[in-house]
Amino acid sequence: MLMQRRWQPALRTILSFVLCLLLFLMSAPAQAQTPLPPLVFVARSRLATGDYLFPRDVGPAGHLITGMTKFAPGSKLLIRDQAGQLRVLIDTARPAGDPLNPLGLRDVQSPDVSFDARRIVFAGTFGPETFRNQPNGRPYYSWRLFEIGVDGRGLRQLTHSDRDITIPEGPANAEAYAFYDDLFPAYLADGRIVFSSSRYPARSPYDGRRSFNLYMIDGDGGNMRRLTTERSAALHPAPLPDGRIVFSRWWVNFNQPSERGIYNRIDNRAGMEIARDQSGRPIMVERRIQVVETAPPALAASQPTAPPKPTPLPTISFVEKIDPATGSIVRLTKTPAPPTPTPRARPTATPTAALPGGTPRTIVVEQPITGYRLPDGTLVYSNTNTTFNPARGRLADGFPIRDAPNTWHLMAIEADGSGMRRFAWTPRYASALTNDSGLDTYNAVQPAVVLSGGELLIAYTTQRDQTMAHSTLYTGVRVARPGIENMALNTTESIAGYRWDDGTAFRPPYALAPAGLPDGRIIFAQTAAISAPARTGTYTDTRNGRTITLRLQSSSLRYELRTIYPNGAQNEVVPLAGLSDDYDAVEARPIVARPVGDGPGMWRLPRGTPPPVSDDPLESNVPLGLLDTFGNPAYPWSRRSIQSVELVAVRNANVYANPPLELPFINNSPPPGSVAFADIYIDANQFGGATSRAPNPDDQARAVKWLTVPVNPDGSFIASAPADVPTFIVLRDKSGRIVRGGNRHTLSIAQGNSAGRPGQPMFCIGCHMGHASGSIANPSLAERGWTNIAPAASIAASSSIENGAPARINDRRGYVTAPNGTLIDRTPPWTANGGAGQWIRLEWQLPMAILEVRLVGAEPGQEGRSADYEVSGELRFYLRGQELGGTARSVEAVAPLSRGGTLIRLPQPIAADRVEFTVTAVRGAQRGAPAPAALSEIEVAGQGATPDALGVGR
């Protein structure tokens, strides 16, 4: 006992030490952090101007459409060194001539670091200006590019207000196109700088904002060239390791196909004809409205025990509202609905009892869509909100026209402006892999290259509003892998900021402006947990004898820098000692040298130089004599004759081409033989007026037909179009009507709206999802006119079960897997009500040239099928009811899609109008019982049975 008492103090000391050690280890981070490299970032003043279209938006300045030209006076350009100390490069709160503001800048944004880590390029402004010095005019900020050394020396201006162009006359044109901004500069590996600018005079079809395009300058600011010619925006360029440039593209094309032409927002107006589908049923729409239930005074004074009276008819208050989540605009008027069909109303929640004086509540009213007819019979839906909404409609027979695109995509382009194509596909939901409905959730801007574990990733900013044009709030950061083959891997939630599936709706945290770090992490800006007070203020600018006073505002949100891994792990704050809460910390970039060369881990030099293209409308590459759809000169201000227009070759190898099963589902191309002509339209800005009061507003005008060319029987055509002019294609049948028919859900134009460079041909196959199409799995066959013609065939089968209809055999769906092995499509196969002797056939109305057939079996392990499930059979070909001798093929086993299916190659093309597969044996079980015959898909590589097609061998 004496010894035990003697050891007790020592034991207590040891136990205390062990406990402290355990607590320390438990509090240590799960993964050791690499020290941050030096960073350049912007301390953006939280007090900023509002957007001129959405003045109440209080999101951070410098981001997305509503924030990128906002003015936040007093912002700073800072460096955080490796020890965490802050150093000021530019302080725009200081007067001109101060060592920290020698040029007198009043705001800064969007810095980038040179490849040798010695220089920083950024955008800055000298402050507000008004058109012709109008005292109460709209302020413009004329953002320009500047460069400064990392050491704070050598500040110089790279771009200037030196554009010399002539703006065509038109209502409000002079002011609308007088000012322009240079933003989002990024160094290339050879020292040149690519940036976004509104120097090219055009306006977005969505809301009339100035269009932005990519430009390039040498390191000293000289040799400016334009890379793109967009009607909406090309923003946030960044170099890729292979020398190309990734950027975010605002894809808007409100030109839509009518029966024999096109229509656009200029066709928005009211009409009273009820819209009906192909079966004659009215098309209904649900609208949320506020109602107020009022009771007569006598009712209010009645006794509580009196029997209930009928509910009085509601007094309806109609409003117009922009949903910040989706960008959809609900516009309700007091125009009464047509007498038939009767609108039906249902409450969105349990109605509250009416109180004296009336109680407002929200109900949903179902009303028929109404519209008016174009001369060619197309019904355009009533829509008087021409400022934002595109015109919608149906063809003369009620066939639906797909909604116009209005979203953001990640694109890549060569440094000479050629080869623009989709770079990463970023749908939020897996439903986009199997349902090509036109509801686009790609919504990607501010792309940043992240090299993590030897893999190239793209971090980007997302927002639920697919236009991303109404607010700079509600943002998150997501991560994507390049290539359509990785599309299924990109349907992931945000790793930081706003989460699409979060039940907290539109509540912070919000995140934006990502950038890659050398260790594979991502640095970005996110709203801090501790907010700062919302504020208002004013800014007064006096220059050249005139004074401008601006209203400033901020939200209670404050942005701080954070780091995170691409998988969402370890979201940690970056300490910024001494930075005031009056600033948002945003747009951080690492100051780290990047190796340039062709070796592993190096950045390749960009390819080529863009050809010179004038921004002057008078020198635009459009001809003087071209007429618009109303018969008026489309470009009366142009100095070019038709002979002097520089052309680009437009070639489509096969308009009928469909993507293979392995890619996400895309609606079918037109059926073979249905296309006779291709209309080539150009959509250059027409300068009809920069106000909605103009007779032909330039952001609402229809595009102009350039020419019509015939489409060959194999689906190919070659046409010309003016270079550096937005171009799109409409496919027509032999009667000149928009092509319909086949297994197609909606109709649309080929909505690329891209521009080709002089002497560089524009080439595609089909036109699906940004040049991602083909025929079967062999692009070379598609280039020669061969495509999967099975969707154009009618189907018959010996039998089928309830969930295994014969139509499954040519729906271009099945048990499709993603690169990580997960299923992205679970469409059941055709399943017969039996085994051997069951058959299924595909039949075409006209003879087709057939080159090969791919049979795709049901997937073992799915729907209870055993791992050894297989089907054997015979494949036969027919023409006009007679079997073609010598063409039958025995198939020992039909492989599932996970093993590539079973390809039957013919030695040479044959003419046939029927393909039939007969089951000879079924092996394996389904849920413990003998399995019935099942096939997931039959693909047939074919085209019209022309002499050329039948004479083409391998």
Lowest mean pLDDT among 129-138, 780-789, 889-898: 780-789
Cβ-contact 213, 192 below 8 angstroms: no
Q: Is the pLDDT of residue 766 over 80?
A: no
CA dist 319 → 185, 331, 465 (Å) = 41, 6, 20
Cβ-contact 445, 307 below 8 angstroms: no
821: Cβ contacts below 8 Å, ≥ 6 apart: none
Lowest mean pLDDT among 131-135, 374-378, 618-622: 131-135
Nearest to 676 by CA among 719, 643, 709: 709
Q: Which two tokens stand for residue 328?
A: 């959809």
pTM: 0.88
Strands (DSSP E) along 790-901, which ranges?
A: 794-797, 815-817, 823-826, 830-831, 839-857, 870-879, 882-883, 889-891
- In this prediction, residue 768 carries a pLDDT of 57
Tens of pLDDT along 266-287?
Answer: 999 899 999 999 999 999 887 7
3-state DSSP call for residue 881? coil
- In this prediction, residue 826 carries a pLDDT of 82
Lookup result for tokens 């249905």: 674
- In this prediction, residue 387 carries a pLDDT of 64
β-strands 213-217, 225-226: how paired?
A: antiparallel
Q: For 62-80, what is the mean pLDDT?
A: 97
Tens of pLDDT along 830-889?
Answer: 999 999 999 999 999 999 999 999 999 999 988 999 999 999 999 999 999 999 999 999
Sign of the alpha-carbon torsion through 453, 456, 462, 466: negative
- One-letter amino acid identity for 818? A
β-strands 762-764, 647-652: how paired?
A: parallel
Q: Is the pLDDT of residue 301 over 80?
A: no
- In this prediction, residue 438 carries a pLDDT of 66
Distance in angstroms (rounded) separating the CA atoms of residues 113 and 398: 55
Q: Is the pLDDT of residue 334 over 70?
A: no
β-strands 830-831, 889-891: how paired?
A: unpaired
CA dist 658 → 368, 716, 783 (Å) = 35, 14, 12
Tens of pLDDT along 45-60?
Answer: 999 999 999 999 999 9
Distance in angstroms (rounded) separating the CA atoms of residues 213 and 82: 36
Length of the chain: 954
Q: Is the pLDDT of residue 333 over 70?
A: no
Q: Which comes out higher in pLDDT, residue 665 or 651?
A: 651
Q: Is the pLDDT of residue 231 over 50?
A: yes
Q: For 598-604, what is the mean pLDDT?
A: 94
Lowest mean pLDDT among 22-31, 372-381, 527-536: 22-31
- In this prediction, residue 509 carries a pLDDT of 94
CA dist 633 → 268, 376, 692 (Å) = 22, 22, 20
752: Cβ contacts below 8 Å, ≥ 6 apart: 727, 728, 764, 767, 770
To the nearest 5 percent, what fractions of the chain are helix, strand and coil?
Answer: 10, 35, 55
pLDDT tier, 954 (very low <50, low <70, confident <90, very high otherwise):
very low
Q: Which two tokens stand for residue 528?
A: 């801090």
Between CA 790 and CA 672, with CA 884 as vertex, the angle to 5 degrees is 25
Q: Is the pLDDT of residue 474 over 50?
A: yes
Q: Which comes out higher in pLDDT, residue 22 or 260?
A: 260
Query: For the chain, how big is the Rg over CA atoms in Å?
Result: 32
- In this prediction, residue 467 carries a pLDDT of 87
Range 738-741, long-range pairs (CB < 8 A, 24+ positions): 738/257, 738/258, 738/259, 738/260, 738/395, 739/670, 739/674, 739/675, 740/395, 740/399, 740/674, 741/670, 741/671, 741/674
For the chain, which domains are there?
Answer: 39-244+414-590 (no CATH), 257-297+311-394 (no CATH), 789-950 (2.60.120.260)
Lowest mean pLDDT among 282-286, 307-311, 593-597, 778-782: 307-311
Q: Is the pLDDT of residue 160 over 50?
A: yes
State the CB neighbour count (10 A cutoff) for residue 464. 20
CA 836 to chain centre: 48
Cβ-contact 622, 261 below 8 angstroms: no
Burial 95-113 (b: 16+ CB within 10 A, else e): eeeeeebeeebbbbbbbbb
Sign of the alpha-carbon torsion through 833, 835, 837, 842: positive
Q: Is the pLDDT of residue 340 over 70?
A: no
State the CB neighbour count (10 A cutoff) for residue 848. 27
Lowest mean pLDDT among 392-396, 430-434, 738-742, 747-751: 747-751
Nearest to 943 by CA among 781, 745, 795: 781
3-state DSSP call for residue 431? helix
- In this prediction, residue 751 carries a pLDDT of 53
Strands (DSSP E) along 158-283, which ranges?
A: 182-187, 193-197, 213-217, 225-226, 233-239, 245-252, 256-257, 262-263, 273-274
State the CB neighbour count (10 A cutoff) for residue 544. 6
Strands (DSSP E) along 227-301, which ranges?
A: 233-239, 245-252, 256-257, 262-263, 273-274, 284-293
Distance in angstroms (rounded) separating the CA atoms of residues 736 and 941: 28
Q: Is the pLDDT of residue 346 over 80?
A: no
Q: Is the pLDDT of residue 37 over 50?
A: yes
Q: Which two tokens stand for residue 500?
A: 């699409």
Distance in angstroms (rounded) separating the CA atoms of residues 398 and 235: 38
Q: Which two tokens stand for residue 176?
A: 């609308």
Cβ-contact 409, 422 below 8 angstroms: yes
Tens of pLDDT along 906-940?
Answer: 999 999 999 999 999 999 999 999 999 999 999 99
Q: Which comes out higher in pLDDT, residue 569 or 814?
A: 569
Percentage of the chain modeled with pLDDT above 90 = 65
CA dist 348 → 326, 342, 343, 353, 366 (Å) = 19, 19, 16, 15, 12
What are residue 119's phi and psi, to 5 degrees?
-130, 155
